[in-house]
Chain A
């Protein structure tokens, strides 16, 4: 069972065009408050968690197919060099094959992690991360209730506390304007990473280091 969750404070109207294009046969949910982001530490999109039949996490949150190749995108035309597109395709295929392997073989799949490994790969939020979520929740409520000026300071505080939580940063930008999440403020934050990754490594055979 696939469940997609849209981290969309803009709600159903923001998510609808994309969901209708995709015509999913699975639940496509809308998460206005970024609840799932907070619960599962999804600091970015797309990130995915694998959950077994007993409700246990067998792969904690990791980027699902996406990687830092997009950083070389032409920022006006959004074009990506062909070799980057090819690598994107390769990574997506590896990830999908791993999913299929899990569906077929269940706990026997090499991609299913032991409880110890799940625990080891779970970073756990810091106190600053937890505070960032509280500031974000407050900011979102204020913005939704006609208090955008007040919201601004709390969004800024959330971003300051958790600068590499891109779900928070980009959603906060969206409240400034719909284009802002892909605009200059976003790109300068990405550039400020330098050699650091935007997407965490995916520790899967065929992708990043195990």
Chain B
């Protein structure tokens, strides 16, 4: 079991296997990592990333009898940063810096959902139609 931290949140992925630099996730569990394997490639919403020709085996393989997908290879292809625990049981996969920079420069305020003290979730997109002054602070 591997815990995956990503912009989708925290997912506990059963049957995941770590081999060297590879993180093999059963295709049946891939949705938990936010991806689907389709003929077009690895897809998330409208985005599909084609599997590079001649490198299918780096991405999709039978591992311990299960058809599995190498999430680290996808991260590498997309230039996403990956941090892993020494034990190989926790992986944090972030957004590629170029993707984030391009999105921010495009000027659209990225949405988020966070709780208040009572636990009620507020989304930035709930405020569409109003000006928002978004300000950070911390007790430290």
- Which residues of chain B are within 8 angstroms of A118 by Cβ–Cβ distance? 105, 107
B76 part of interface (Cβ distance < 8 Å): no
Residue contact A133 to B110, C-beta cutoff 8 Å:
no
Q: How large is the interface on A (under 10, 10 to 19, 20 to 34, 35 or more residues)?
A: 35 or more
Separation of A170 and B137 alpha carbons in the complex (Å)? 12
Assembly CA distance A105 to B40 (angstroms): 48
Interface size on B, residues (CB 8 A): 53
A52-B131, A55-B128, A170-B140 known; A127+B81 contact, CB < 8 A: yes
Distance in angstroms between the alpha carbons of A30 and B137 in the assembled complex: 10
Given A15-B117, A29-B116, A134-B82: A48 in contact with B136 (beta carbons within 8 A): yes
| Contact between chains at B104 and A10 (CB < 8 Å) | no
Cα of A38 to Cα of B97 in the assembled complex, Å: 11
Q: Are A40's CB and B131's CB within 8 A?
A: no
Select A53's contact among B83, B106, B119, B128, beta carbons within 8 Å: B128
CB of A137 within 8 A of CB of B94, answer yes
Residues of A within 8 A of B (CB): 1-8, 10, 12, 14-19, 27-31, 35-42, 45-57, 60, 64, 99, 102-103, 106, 115, 118-119, 122-127, 129-131, 133-135, 137-138, 141-142, 147, 150, 154, 157, 167, 170-171, 173-174, 178, 181-182
A–B pairs, 14, beta carbons within 8 Å: A2-B135, A3-B132, A3-B135, A6-B136, A8-B138, A14-B139, A28-B117, A30-B115, A49-B135, A50-B133, A51-B127, A60-B104, A138-B84, A167-B136
Query: What 16 additional pairs, Cβ within 8 angstroms, besides A2-B132, A119-B105, A154-B83?
Result: A4-B136, A27-B122, A28-B117, A42-B136, A47-B136, A48-B133, A51-B133, A55-B128, A56-B107, A57-B104, A115-B107, A124-B105, A127-B79, A130-B95, A167-B136, A170-B140
